[in-house]
Amino acid sequence: MKAFIIDRYGKKQAGRIAEIPEPEVRDDDVLIQIHAASINPLDSKIKSGEFKLILPYRLPLILGNDVAGTVVRVGARVRGFKPGDEVYARPDDDRIGTFAELIAVKESSLALKPMNLDMVEAATLPLAALTAWQVLVETAKLKKGQKVLIHAGSGGVGSIAIQLAKHLGAFVATTTSTANIEWVKALGADVVIDYKQQDFATQLHGYDVVLNSLGSDELKKSLQILKPGGHLISISGPPTPAFAAARGLAWPLKQVLRLLSSGIRKKAKQSSVEYSFVFMRADGAQLREITALIESGAIRPVIDKVFPFQDTAKALAYVDSGRAKGKVGVRVI
C-alpha cells in the first residue's frame, strides 16, 4: 500500500510517499480503507521528535492521527463493526498512521461516521473533538453558566471547543487575531480578545476554566483570570507527574516531567487554582457521544483547505505556517 512516511526525526524532514506492507490485523482490530485524514499540530511535533521520549515510535513511521473510511475486514473478536461500515477514529497513539491507504484500528477506538458528514468532514473531527471533550467534559466538568476561556479559537481544537462549550451552556471567551474575530463569534464565542491589540489577562477576570493550547507565557497569564477554585487545563504542556503515572513512564522520565511542570503547579497552588495537562487519548465511546452532537447540529466541522494525498507534505507545511482556520483535510480516495 501507499503511505506517507518519515525516515528520521527532524523539523526539516519533509516526509515522502512510499510503498509499504499492509498492516497486520489483530483479533480486536478493524481494517479500514482510508478515504480521508486530517492534519493536526501533533503530526509536526511527532515529526520533529518532540514526543520521542513519551511516544517511542519505530522508524520509518507513517504519520497521521485522524481517519475516516470504510471497513474492509474485522478481527476474530470484533462484534460492533462489519465490512462496508463507514467509520471514523483517532487511532491509539502507539498505532498512528492515517496518511496511508489502509490502517488497522482497535474496535474500542472506533465509531460509525456521522451520517450527515462526508468522509473529509468526518476525518477532520476525531482528534480535535476528543481533545475538546476530554478537556471540557471529562477534566473540567464544565457546567451551564460557568465561564471558560478557550485560547486560539480559530484553530482546530479551539473551533470545536467553542461549539462544545456553548452546547454545555457556558459563557465563552476566546483569543484570536484581528482577521478572525467575526468568524469565531459566528462559532458562538461571547467575548473575543484580539491578541494583536489586547491583553486577555487585563480584559478577563472571574473565569472558571481556561483551555490553553499556546506557550508558557499565555499559560502563566491565564492564572490571573481564574477565580479561586478555577481550573487551568493545558494541551500544550508542560506534562505533570499525574500524566507520567497514567502513561506508566519510567522513573527518570517521571522526574523530568515533575521538574518541567513544577513552576506552573506551584504558581497554580499559590493562586488556589488547579493545573492539569491533557494528552488526548483514543476513545470510541466518547466519539459516539460526539457523533450524536454532530448529527444534532450542535457541532459542525470547520475546514480551511483539503489537499490530495500526494500533497500531504504541502498540507503539513500549510498547518505549520499557522494560517489555517479550523482544520486541513487530506483526501486519500
Instruction: Determine the pLDDT at residue 51.
Output: 87
Could you state, in order of their start, the residue ranges of all structural domains in the chain?
Answer: 2-125+301-331, 128-277
Q: 128-277 adopts what CATH topology?
A: Rossmann fold (3.40.50)
Q: Is the pLDDT of residue 7 over 90?
A: yes
Instruction: Determine the pLDDT at residue 17.
Output: 98
**Three-state DSSP string of the chain:** CEEEEECCCCCCCCCEEEECCCCCCCCCEEEEEEEEEEECHHHHHHHHCCCCCCCCCCCCEECCCCEEEEEEEECCCCCCCCCCCEEEECCCCCCCCCCECEEEEEHHHEEECCCCCCHHHHHCCHHHHHHHHHHHHHHCCCCCCCEEEECCCCCHHHHHHHHHHHHCCCEEEEEECHHHHHHHHHHCCCEEEECCCCCHHHHCCCEEEEEECCCHHHHHHHHHHEEEEEEEEECCCCCCHHHHHHHCCCHHHHHHHHHHHHHHHHHHHHCCCEEEECCCCCCHHHHHHHHHHHHHCCCCCCEEEEEEHHHHHHHHHHHHCCCCCCEEEEECC
CATH architecture designation of domain 2-125+301-331: Alpha-Beta Complex (3.90)
pTM tops 0.75: yes
- If pLDDT is split at 50, 70 and 90, which confidence band does 52 have? confident
Tens digit of each residue's pLDDT (9 = 90 or more) over 130-157? 999 999 999 999 999 999 999 999 999 9
Q: Of the given ranges (110-114, 151-155, 248-252, 329-333), which has the lowest mean pLDDT?
A: 248-252
